[in-house]
Amino acid sequence: MIAPNHGYMRCGIFIHYERFIVKLNSSAQITILVLAASFSFASAAHAARPREVEALNRTSVSLVQATQIAEKQEAGKTIGAEFDFEKDRSLWEVKVLGNAGVKEYKIDAASGAVIKIEDEHIRGKLTNFITGMNMKDLESAKTSLAQAVATAEKKFNGKAIKVQVEHERGNIQYDVFVQTGNKSEKIKIDATGQAR
């Protein structure tokens, strides 16, 4: 993978400790979840393997197009998407929050075909519990995911490989990772569409 996939680590930590966390009071639950989530954040730049960069450059489906394909499968909004190269296949992994929870769509980066759909019930519950983010927040966001990605790609003159939607101070914000040469750069786009 070009950018570390910390979503699986977070999900694995939460699943592994789910029974333990439920027994704690809410203050302790929040502390544990925040600590676990803090380990998942990436630094500003990541080195990429040449093979993965080549695979990304050969894709015909962009990150934004992949999110649009996933959102057409079921009513919902994207909360995260990233490029992955596994078994010599380029994929977009798109997480969509809907009324029933979170689903992950694996989308072929060459054809745009949906390859696999996975339910992530625990992730959906934790997303709402930790961040307070819900469908209403996503639908009323002043800056769309597509606008945030376009801003990031323009700033770094590269191709978006990952986006994470966050709910901070009552507003939707985006962490966007852009591939430039053999590294990826991270930028935060706030609710007004400005880079921070």
The whole-number pLDDT of residue 80 equals 94
Fold of 6-189: Nuclear Transport Factor 2; Chain: A, (3.10.450)
What is the predicted pLDDT for the residue at 145? 94
**In whole angstroms, what is the distance from residue 64 CA to residue 122 CA?**
25
Nearest 10 degrees: Cα torsion 111, 5, 177, 188: 130
Residue 149 CA to residue 145 CA, distance in Å, equals 6
Provide the pLDDT for residue 91. 96
Q: Is 145 exposed, middle or buried, given 0-12, 13-18 or 19+ CB atoms closer than 10 A?
A: buried
pLDDT at 22: 45
pLDDT of residue 79: 92
- Burial class of residue 191 in the structure, from the number of CB atoms within 10 Å of its CB (0-12 exposed, 13-18 middle, 19+ buried): middle
Three-state DSSP class for residue 193: coil
Write down the domain spans for the chain.
6-189
Q: Which residues of the chain have pLDDT under 70?
A: 1-48, 121-132
